[in-house]
Amino acid sequence: KKIILSGMQPSGILTIGNYLGALKNWVTLQSEYDCLFMVVDLHALTVKQVPADLRSRCLSFSAQYLASGIDPEQSTIFLQSHVSEHAELAWVLNTMAYMGELSRMTQFKDKSQRHEENVNAGLLTYPVLMAADVLLYQANLVPVGSDQKQHLELTRDLAQRFNQRYSETFTVPEPFIPKVGARIMSLQDPTKKMSKSDENPDAYIGILETPEVIRRKIKRAVTDSGTDVRFDETRPGVSNLITIHAALSGKSVQEIEDHFAGKGYGDLKGELAELLVEGLAPIQKRYAELMGDKTGLEQILARGAERARGRARRTLSKVFRKVGLVPAQ
Ligand code: TYM
């Protein structure tokens, strides 16, 4: 079986961007592949966190994975910090990553502009930790939204560099980006991606938000001048709504355009809001059940970490030996 690994940062709340760009695909992949899914809590430390909030968000994100359909019997689900090998491999890879290539990463440039008061070294080496996440498990495929493509390129470069300098060690992974939903845009500025850390909450929809809030946010979504429902790059607002519709309904853009022929933006928004409300309702119900049993949730995470650790250790021991470290007896 091919190996799949992916993760999300427990910052802000999970949005329909995360769901349609990544999580929904994870669920369909798990029966066919050997899957590992993490909550990347160490990555979240690169921005200032309130410790108690981070702690509860890690559990809440895990529950949202499970509620969305990740099956802990089929897939390995765990918290990144529970498997210390991630930080250890990241250190070795840090010594092989160049300042130049890290400082060229668009996400780093972006984040260091937005968090000017806290441009810490972790923000720069963030993609190296991500490479460690992937390479530890010899993952073949990494399902992500298109914003993570550049980080995956770096992961591939680091794997190849290591393999060349020492000997064949890491599987070189491929990104696995969905055709529809790979990039869900902000509802308030459809030229920017929908982000869970946007300061304007009208810009995103969280997967746990109530029907009233979902309907209100869709109603307020910025659309373009024009009236007909047509996918068109010069009209990013309505195009984004069509993309969300397609990712949820499974219909093609063409089918959606035909369906709304002679109708207007209001009709599209009305139907889209109901699609979201209906699509998210079962996830929300299951989420509430999972959060009602914290001990059960913690047990699932403990079992996941246990399974992951053995696999991670095997790769790390190999790496330590190849670079010349003395094995601990
Ligand atoms: P993160 O937490 O920013 O996002 C989690 C996943 O959601 C996707 N995504 C989107 N997809 C479509 N439209 C959007 N508007 C949108 N916003 C986010 C992201 O592409 C991602 O797949 N660095 C990663 C986390 C990470 C990781 C890894 C991923 C750490 N280690 C190893 C894969 C493998 C991140 O910050 O994702």
What ipTM describes this predicted complex?
A: 0.98
Give φ, ψ of 326 to 5 degrees: -80, 125
What does the pLDDT read at residue 126? 97
Is the CB of residue 136 below 6 angstroms from any atom belonging to ligand 1?
A: no
Instruction: Give the pLDDT band (50/70/90) at residue 328.
Output: confident
Q: Which 8-state DSSP code applies to residue 177?
A: -
The gap between the terminal CA atoms of the chain, to the nearest Å, is 33
Residue 70's nearest CA partner among 42, 20, 36, 21 is: 36
Burial of residue 211, with CB atoms counted within 10 A of its CB: 0-12 exposed, 13-18 middle, 19 or more buried: middle
Q: Whose CA is nearest to atom 37 of ligand 1?
A: 8
Instruction: Give the pLDDT band (50/70/90) at residue 115.
Output: confident
Contact 268/245 with Cβ under 8 angstroms?
A: yes
- Same domain, yes or no, for 114 and 48? yes
- Is residue 1 annotated as a catalytic residue, yes or no? no
* Candidates 196, 251, 263, 322; catalytic one: 196
E strands in the chain:
3-8, 34-39, 76-79, 141-143, 174-176
- Same domain, yes or no, for 245 and 171? no
> Which structural domain range is residue 254 located in?
201-288
Instruction: Give the pLDDT band (50/70/90) at residue 9.
Output: very high
- Same domain, yes or no, for 40 and 55? yes
Contact 241/205 with Cβ under 8 angstroms?
A: no
With respect to residue 193, please indicate whether it lies within any of the assigned structural domains. Answer: no
Q: Which two three-digit tokens encode residue 154?
A: 């770096």
What whole-number distance in Å separates Cα of residue 25 and Cα of residue 142? 11
Determine the longest span between alpha carbons in the chain, in angstroms: 74
Residue 50 sits in a domain whose CATH number is 3.40.50.620
Distance 7 CA to ligand 1 centre (A): 7
Residue with tokens 């000997």: 167
Average pLDDT over residues 47-74: 96
The total domain count for the chain is 2
- Same domain, yes or no, for 22 and 108? yes
With respect to residue 154, please indicate whether it lies within any of the assigned structural domains. Answer: yes
194-240 per-position pLDDT tens digit: 998 888 999 999 999 999 999 999 999 999 888 899 999 899 999 99
- Is residue 263 annotated as a catalytic residue, yes or no? no
What whole-number distance in Å separates Cα of residue 48 and Cα of residue 275? 35
What does the pLDDT read at residue 136? 98
What whole-number distance in Å separates Cα of residue 234 and Cα of residue 305? 46
- Residue 39 bridge partners (DSSP): 8, 79
- Same domain, yes or no, for 34 and 152? yes
Distance 19 CA to ligand 1 centre (A): 10
- Same domain, yes or no, for 98 and 240? no
With respect to residue 191, please indicate whether it lies within any of the assigned structural domains. Answer: no
Which contiguous run of DSSP H or E holds residue 25? helix 24-29
Query: Cα 108 to chain center, whole Å?
Result: 17
Is the CB of residue 133 below 6 angstroms from any atom belonging to ligand 1?
A: yes
- Same domain, yes or no, for 18 and 148? yes
Is the CB of residue 123 below 6 angstroms from any atom belonging to ligand 1?
A: no
233-262 per-position pLDDT tens digit: 899 999 999 999 999 999 999 999 999 999
- Same domain, yes or no, for 173 and 220? no
- Is residue 193 annotated as a catalytic residue, yes or no? yes
Can you give the pTM of this predicted structure? 0.95
Name the residue of 4, 40, 158 to mutate for ligand 1: max ligand atoms within 8 A of Cβ: 40
Burial of residue 292, with CB atoms counted within 10 A of its CB: 0-12 exposed, 13-18 middle, 19 or more buried: exposed
